[in-house]
Structures are given as C-alpha cells and as structure tokens.
Amino acid sequence: MGCSNSKGLEENAGATGSTENPGNSRPTSVRAQSRGSAITEKKIEVAMKVRRRHENVFAEAPDLTGGFQTARFPKSPEVKDTIRKALQTNFVFSTLSSPEIEDFIDFMKMEKFMVGATVIKQGDPGDFFYVCEAGNFTYSVDGKTVGTAHPGSSFGELALMYNAPRAATVRADEDSVVWSLNRQTFRTILANSSAQQSDRIIESLKKVEILQDVPYSQLASLAGAVQLITYAPGDKIVKKGERGNIFYMIKSGTVLCTDAGSGSKPQKFSAGDYFGEKASAQKDGKELKVFKEGDFFGEMALLNDEARVCDVVAVSDKVVVYDLDRTAFNRILGSLEDIMKRAVSKRTKQNAKAGFGVGGKSGGSSAGEGTSLRDIPKSQLKDVAFLGTGTFGRVTLVQDKKSGETMALKAMSKAQIVAHRQQENVMNEKNIMVLCNSPFILKLYATYKDSQKLYLLLEFCQGGELFTVLHTAERDGVPEKQALFYGVCVISALQHMDAKSIAYRDLKPENALIDKDGYCKIIDMGFAKVVRNKTFTLCGTPEYLAPEIVLGRGHNRGVDHWAFGILCYEMIAGYSPFADLQNMDQVVICQNIVKGKLTFPKGFDPNCKELIKKLLVRDPVARLGMMKGGVQTICNQPWFKDVNWEDFASKKQIAPWIPDCGDPLDVSNFDPYDQEEYYDPNFKDSGDWDKEF
C-alpha cells in the first residue's frame, strides 16, 4: 500500500496543538466567517478570486481516425512571411517544426473586417486564432481600451487550446484583413502528427528483439525520448573510430554505411531500416551485414561507448533519423544488461505467473483489486444538504433512510454533458472509480440514471476541501510539515492510479477532500483516463496544466507528476508558481507554464524545493516519476525521508488537523455557495452512450 519506506515522521505537524501555528487549527470557511461579520467583503473577494483561478477547462477530443479533412488556402510569399513571423513569436507554436508551421500557414483562411466590426466579443466562446495582415484593431475589456493589434500581430491564441470565454473585445479601427485558424483544425492536425510519429517509433522499437519483453507503456516512453535529426547529403552521421552512445532509426532518406578497410562493400539503408555500431557492419574489411526485421541493433551503443566500426553518410537529398542515446535509454528502462537478464528470467519463468493479478509493480504500489458497488436503491436516499457544484451539476449530502449512513450524491446534467461533448469522460469517471480501491481515493458506492441526469453515490468526507485549509481569510498556504502530510496522501493516490495506468489529469486543492480523521482523498475522476501511450484531449485547470497539455503534443501520466509539483508549491507558498496574480489572465498563465521559469519565496523548505524542481521539468520523459522506478522515485526523495508509508496507509499517523464532526449530518466545513441547477426541459438523448453507466 503506498510508497515503500519504513521510517516514521520525526515531528508531527499537529502533535503540539500550538495556537501559534496557523496550520494546526481548522480555518473557518470564508462564507461562514462573513455571516459572523468576522471578515471584510474585500477578503471574500480575494478568496473567491483564488477559487476562480482553479476552474476547469477542457476542449473537444481531436479526431484521430484519419478522416479529418480541411482546406488549404493559397497565399502570396509576402503574406506567408507575415504569418510565419507571427507564429514563430507566439508561444502556442513555439515547439513546432518548420514543416508543421508551414502546414498551419496553408490552413489559415482570409477574413476581411470593415471599420468598426467586432472580431471577438468579450465573454463569447472562442474558436479562432487570428494573424493581422493589414489594418489595425483595438482590444478592450469592460469597455476600457487595453491594447492594439497591427500588421504582423496575432491574437486569440487561447481559443486554440480550449473553449474559454473571450477575455476581451477586439474591433477593427479601419478596414482590415486577418488570417484565421480554428481550434479543431489546430488540435486535430497537431494530435495526428504527434500520434503518427509516436506510432512509427514504437513500431520500429518493437522490431528490436531485446526490447520485445518491454511493456508497451515503456516503449512509448522511449519513443518520447527519441530525437528527430535532419542531415544534408554528405553529412557523416557516424564516424568510424569515434566513441558512440547513440543508435538510429531512419525516418526518411537514404544513408551509405561503409567500412574503410580494403575489400569492403558499401551498403545503403533507407526509411524503416535501422543501424548502430555493430548492427550493420563487421570489422577488418569484411562485407557489411544487413540485419533483418526483428533483429535488434545498436546493442553496443546502449551497453558502452565502444568505438564505431564503420562510417554512415547521408546520400539522399535529405535524411531524417530518430536517434536515442544511452543516457535516455538507461533513465527510462535501466541498463540494457539488466533488460537482457530480465528477458532471460522471463523466458525461464514464463509459466510462473499463472494465477497472478494484473498490475504488480516493482518498487511501488500494487495495483490491487477494484471496488465492488453496493445495492442501495436511489429511492432509499433522502436529501439533507447542498455540498457544492461540479462541472455538470450539484453535489448533495444524502442519508440512507434504513441505515442512517450519510453519503454524497453527485448529479450530472446529461444535456450539459452532451453539449460539451464529454460523454466519454463521464463514462470514464464511473469506470475509473470502480477500478480504484485506495484509502486515499474517494469511494464509489452506487450509480443511477434517469432521462435528465446521471448520478454517482459517493463516500462523504466531512472535513471539506483541501482548498479551504490552504486558503483562509488570514493566510494562504500551510506549514511545511502539514503540507508534507497532505502530500503523502496525494502521492499515494497517484501511485495507486499509476499502477493501473490511469492519468488523473485534474489535481488541484479543490479535488482533495479531508475525511473525519484529517486525511485527504482525491475526488472527481471526470478527466481520468487509462493511458498507455499518449492522449490528446486538453482538460484540467489552467495553473495546473503541464506544458505538453498546453502545447497539444500529446500527454501521458507524467502530467500528474507535474501537477503534484504545482500542488506542493501552492500548499506551502499559498499560490501556484505560474499564476498571474495580478490579472488572472489565462494566456499569461499558459505562457508562464511553457517558459517554465521557476522561483521560490524565501524560507521554502530545501528538500521540498528540490522535489518540485524535479517534478516541474518541461520534458515529460525527464520528469521525476517517468523514469525507471516510476512513482516510487518520487516517494524516495529526501522530502519524504521520515515518512512511514505503512502507517499512513493504515491511518496510524495523527493528522495535523482533524475536523470537528460531532454530528454525521454536519456540513459546516463546506462553503455554502450555491448555483442554480441546470435543467433543459427540451433535452432528449437519442444515443445510448450511457448504457453501461
């Protein structure tokens, strides 16, 4: 259960009961305090600003079936140059290759606006990004001018990422010309390009004999570590006699492999072939050997830096190769020698796994069994109190009329689910909760549905959100020891999900509830998904999005490790590291995430700081937890050195704050903010997408 470590906490954050430590007393909810006139309206406003920062965003899933078609629009070289320069300076396009940028230039469509015309209206949903070719535009927020656009400027880039309301109004100051690109085209083309490249690399890796016992998810990680390199005719890719630690796969073009010894015969390799220092040649002038499909190659480059035994030269107009170096290989899979030993061991023990469950994990948490649902008729439940709102509906405290047990009933509007095209995510939520069984993940008891709604009957945690522990009227953030306690709970939940190949994708303080013992549990699996390679749907909370989600190149479970780093930072600092604290501008937030400039306030715990630095690495392959050892490598960091993981799993540790829950119907730890329930009397669902709910 959880990360493996035998030590206990040297100092319990809540053991002293000190009134000087604000983390040891439960913060009164902002709204509850306002009712007692204990805080000002300004403090309410500040607290609610923090809450608004953490609202979810999501975009439609891109079409990966290969059936998506879009037109290309002709442009003059001068117009292309204007658009190209605009894209190259916009962070959304910062990681794209030159061919990808040229593709998007072709897809952009001309639009003309007369003087005074509105291009974008504040508050409207956004779908298009624009580059100005001619004319001028004015940006305004709430009627106040905040900026201008001129030829070569771009605006509306947030619409390429997700369907957030427009932050400003944009009007033409004169007759103007722009070129537009819509979100569906951008995300679908980008996702297909990334997915196809990943698939090609994985298929090549699967041909390597020694890698045939490597799980698909690890091959996918290797594919993410591969670099794309382009060579011109005559470029020497490999030089005889040099020490080498890289092996190659040809994506396109032709190379010539030759041994400089007498009597040697050159050998050409083309797209789909592969070579390494011993894969394609023999020494002493002997004829070069061609390896067939299924052979492994480059074995010496992955084992040691032995000298290359042949020259490899690019001979076609352009040669594009994938290369993988030994350092990246070892970081993800361990040494090739260890892999060989594991392959031999697997073959000799191939029948020994009979009767074992799915998902056992070396160095980490076992996946374990899932959750069995209970037979509790919905008619047996009575409403007690309102708890909060979810993305598609309300959460209500209910009580079993027979047993008296209290639970939470989450109701979701089918009309809203369908309108936002989130049917798959909602079904995933139910299926993921059934799959999980951890003391750090909220339990699912039963599901219901009717013509208008879907319902999840859930475990009730009386302590309220972790958010209200972190953000009070008096302070933001908690002491480091208290943050460590909650961090152990969260990483234990993430490790359980990782063992089942689940990407959670919505970690934030609002999605962790405090139970009656003071432990926190992860809730809301609406964006969770089983991911073994990459997925491309943008979802989550802006300040917690990993760079690969923002940039749309595909993501995997590594986004949860990034989000855990953000959470650790916010728990101690009181704000997230890439926040726009002045204006809460989502474009600025996304720019900050992509730039990745990380600073810490004074007095930040050094061990926690090092952990966060390793988690907030822009390259997901190099991010802590994504290498050999998985999530266990996070648990092994010095910040967790005094944690007794077994005591946490059995809840033997005393929590830094234990909620006062004398009455099982007490909801005082929840902010009583309300929202009108969405109801569409005309909604009729003709599909059967929720058949298995």
How many whole angstroms separate alpha carbon 510 and alpha carbon 23?
18
CB atoms within 10 A of CB 602: 4
- Sequence-distant (6+) residues with CB within 8 A of 360 are 366, 367
Q: Which residue type occupies 613? A: K
Longest dimension (CA), the chain: 94
166 is in an annotated binding site: no
How many whole angstroms separate alpha carbon 566 and alpha carbon 274?
40
137 is in an annotated binding site: no
Residue with tokens 């003087």: 115
CB atoms within 10 A of CB 99: 8
Catalytic residue among 506, 524, 560, 671: 506
391 is in an annotated binding site: yes
Q: How would you write 196-248 as a 3-class SS string?
A: HHHHHHHHHHHCCHHHCCCCHHHHHHHHHHCEEEEECCCCEEECCCCECCEEE
Nearest-CA neighbor of 209 among 323, 334, 298? 298
Instruction: Count CA within 13 A, CB hemisphere, residue 11.
Output: 7
Helix (H) or strand (E) holding 560: helix 558-573
394 is in an annotated binding site: yes
- For residue 66, what are the CA distances in angstroms to 69, 191, 421? 8, 11, 19
The span from the first CA to the last CA of the chain, in angstroms, equals 29
CB atoms within 10 A of CB 652: 10
Q: Helices 336-348 and 326-333 sit at what angle, rounded to 10 degrees?
A: 40
CB atoms within 10 A of CB 295: 15
User: What six digits make up the tokens of 162?
Assistant: 């997700």
487 is in an annotated binding site: no
Nearest-CA neighbor of 299 among 316, 319, 278? 278
623 is in an annotated binding site: no
Classify 249 in phi/psi space as left (phi over 0), alpha (psi -120 to 50) or beta.
beta
241 is in an annotated binding site: no
390 is in an annotated binding site: yes
How many whole angstroms separate alpha carbon 388 and alpha carbon 141?
30
Q: Which residue type occupies 224? A: G
How many whole angstroms separate alpha carbon 177 and alpha carbon 174?
10
How many whole angstroms separate alpha carbon 566 and alpha carbon 408?
28
261 is in an annotated binding site: no
Residue with tokens 């998810």: 217
| 506 assigned to active site | yes
393 is in an annotated binding site: yes
Q: Which residues are annotated as a binding site?
A: 387-395, 410
Known binding residues for ATP are 387-395, 410
Active-site positions read 506
